[in-house]
Amino acid sequence: MIGILDSTLREGEQTPGVLFNMDQRVNIAKLLSDADVKMIEAGHPVVSEDIFNSIKYIMELKNSETIKSEIIAHSRAVNSDIDIASSLNIDRIAIFYGISDLHLKYKTHKTKEEALNIIYNSINYAKSYGIKIRFTAEDASRTDINFLRDVIKTAVSAGADRISIADTLGILTPERTKYIFNNINDIKNVEYDFHGHNDLGMAVANSLAAFESGATVIHATVNGLGERVGITPTQVIGTLLKYHYNLDVINLSLLRELSSTVEKYSNIQMPLNEPVTGSNAFIHKSGVHVNGIINNPETYEFMNPEIFGIQRSFTIDKYSGKHALIQKLNNLNIKPDENIISYALNEIKNSNKIYNDNDIISMVNNIKSYN
Ligand code: COA
Ligand code: ZN
């Protein structure tokens, strides 16, 4: 089954300047589960006692069925990390290892041969705990395709049933993403995750390309949080999969709540023009657009805002036309007679002002008294 893995609690808390507290982590996990997210990456337990305890609490909620999503803990390819993660009885462990030449040379100082042994042994070790295992090929997008294949085959033979293809630096394009998947899809007994960073603004497009070329789980974080400039935003990929493929990977009516909750907890304000959950997502402005919206909202809305639990609106300023103004006057229970409309439009066109409802009411009153 296709799904989202939400990593707000792991990747998301790796955002510079962001630390959640335990209550916030648990609330985020509950909200994600309520929204029917398939998998939640709950954190890397060895980071700190407080992260360990947050995952422990999330697992208590999982065991009492308050949380339903699959709960995953992150781990280096190190036995002590695996021991600590496994002690939490999580549903799945995600063991990661950087496999590009750069990562092998400068981070772990291992040859390819040694890396394959470490990957095999750590997965094999985790298997003794009887939990499901995902292996993350960190920096897969900058790895020679033949070595990536060797890594995948090694991880699968050791017991991983999922492999995450990580575009750790966000350097892929959709075409390049498809190339990678087309060159690994023949490997048997494995399903793929895609983890796309957004350094070049391509995370969403690459995630969609990964899905279209066979990945069955897409990694995302609420509001696109994550290392540096983050990864694929949960709200965008969730909506995109619904729009293009009619897939229900997240309850769209909870996206605004998820986004505003994470905004508050992370202290990172989303721009008004953020796709899907930005405040402007269903606010219209120019006269031609509002005219279309009045006649049929599908002219300028990709989906009905009610699906997201919100209402459309439009603004009034010099970009407005008569249809917008008439609609606005109707909404305000003001009889839109011809005179008022032409005087009001004239005034609006000659000022550089955004008119709220009160401005419109007083403008109309002034026009009436002047007449
Ligand atoms: N598997 C095994 N070892 C790995 C690894 C991996 N996937 N990735 C890095 N390492 C090794 C490095 O080679 C280095 O080893 P060394 O100490 O022998 O040189 C070490 O892990 C990382 O260095 P550092 O972070 O300074 O070590 P540390 O022991 O003080 O702390 C953590 C380790 C994990 C507790 C700490 O880095 C942390 O809290 N990290 C936050 C989580 C994180 O980094 N996540 C990345 C997700 S992609
Ligand atoms: Zn990442």
**pLDDT on residue 128:** 96
Residue 271 lies in a domain: no
Q: Which of 332, 298, 323 is nearest to 312 (CA)?
A: 298
DSSP state of 137: E
Instruction: Centre a 10 Å sphere on the Cβ of residue 21 and count the other Cβ atoms it contains.
Output: 11
pTM to 2 decimals?
Answer: 0.97
Q: Residue 241 is inside which H or E element, if any?
A: helix 234-245
Q: How confident is the model at residue 324 (pLDDT cuts 50, 70, 90)?
A: very high
**48 has a pLDDT exceeding 90:** yes
Report d(CA 77, CA 126) in Å as an integer.
Answer: 10
Pocket mutation for ligand 1, best pick of 82, 104, 108, 167 (most atoms within 8 Å of C-beta): 108
Q: At what angle do helices 255-266 and 234-245 cross, to 10 degrees?
A: 160
Give bridge partners of residue 133 from the DSSP assignment.
Answer: 93
Model confidence over 172-192: pLDDT tens digits? Answer: 999 999 999 999 999 999 999
Same domain, 197 and 300: no
Out of 14, 44, 117, 122, give the residue to mutate to test ligand 1, the one with the largest number of ligand atoms within 8 Å of its CB: 44
Residue 276 lies in a domain: no
- Mean per-residue pLDDT, 102-126: 98
Whether 328 is in a domain gets the answer: yes
User: Among 199, 231, 266, where does a domain finish?
Assistant: 266
Per the structure block, which two tokens stand in for 145?
A: 């395709």
Q: Is the dihedral of CA 155, 124, 73, 63 positive or negative?
A: positive
Are 35 and 98 part of one and the same domain? Answer: yes
Q: Please, how many CA atoms are within 13 Å of residue 335, restricted to the half-sphere of its CB?
A: 3
- Has residue 277 been placed in a domain? no
Mean pLDDT, all residues of the chain: 97
Task: Tell me, yes or no, whether 273 lies in a domain.
Answer: no
**Mean pLDDT score, 110-116:** 98
Do 206 and 290 belong together in one domain? no
CA nearest to 137, candidates 164, 107, 102, 104: 164
Closest ligand by atom to 51 CA:
1
Counted domains in the chain: 2
- Residue 81 Cα: closest atom of ligand 1: 34
Query: Ligand 1 in contact with 107 (CB < 6 A)?
Result: yes
Is the domain of 48 the same as that of 132?
A: yes
Please indicate, yes or no, whether residues 134 and 228 belong to a single structural domain of this protein.
yes
Chain length of the chain: 371
**CATH number of the domain to which 169 belongs:** 3.20.20.70
- Is the pLDDT at 216 greater than 80? The verdict is yes
The C-alpha atoms of residue 286 and residue 268 are separated, in whole angstroms, by 30
> Domain span at residue 23?
3-266
Q: How many CB atoms lie within 10 A of CB 200?
A: 15
Q: Which residues are catalytic?
A: 289
C-alpha 244: how far from chain center: 16
The percent of residues above 90 in pLDDT, for the chain, comes to 97
Closest-approaching ligand to the CA atom of 14: 1
Confidence of residue 336 (pLDDT cuts 50, 70, 90): confident
From the CA of 96, give the closest atom in ligand 1.
Answer: 7
* Cβ neighbours around 350 below 10 Å, total: 9
Regarding whether 258 and 160 lie in a shared domain, the answer is yes
DSSP 240: H
Structural domain includes residue 146: yes
Query: Which of residues 213, 239, 266 is at a domain's end?
Result: 266
Q: Is the dihedral of CA 87, 93, 98, 104 positive or negative?
A: positive
Using DSSP's 3-state secondary structure scheme, residue 7 falls into coil
Whether residue 250 is found in the same domain as residue 329: no
For residue 178, being part of any structural domain is answered with: yes
Q: Which of 266, 291, 316 is the last residue of a domain?
A: 266
Do 254 and 317 lie in one domain? The reply is: no
Query: Is 15 contained in some domain?
Result: yes
pLDDT of residue 67: 98
Judgement on whether residues 160 and 250 belong to the same structural domain of the protein: yes
* Residue 231 amino acid letter: I
Q: At what angle do helices 79-86 and 112-127 cross, to 10 degrees?
A: 20
* 224 and 305 co-located in one domain: no
Backbone angles phi, psi at 53, to 5 degrees: -70, -35
Q: Average of pLDDT values for 285-299?
A: 98
Q: Which ligand 1 atom minimizes the distance to the CA of 109?
A: 13
Indicate whether residue 44 lines ligand 1 (CB < 6 A).
yes
**Is 133 within 8 Å of 95 (Cβ atoms)?**
yes
Instruction: Specify whether 40 is located in the same domain as 168.
Output: yes
Same domain, 210 and 80: yes
Burial class (CB in 10 A: 0-12, 13-18, 19+), 246: exposed
Q: What is the pLDDT of residues 51-65, one digit of tens each?
A: 999 999 999 999 999
pLDDT score recorded for residue 370: 75
| Cβ pair 90, 63 in contact under 8 A | no
For residues 170 and 151, give the distance between their C-alpha atoms in angstroms, rounded to a whole number.
20
- Is 278 in a helix, a strand, or coil? coil
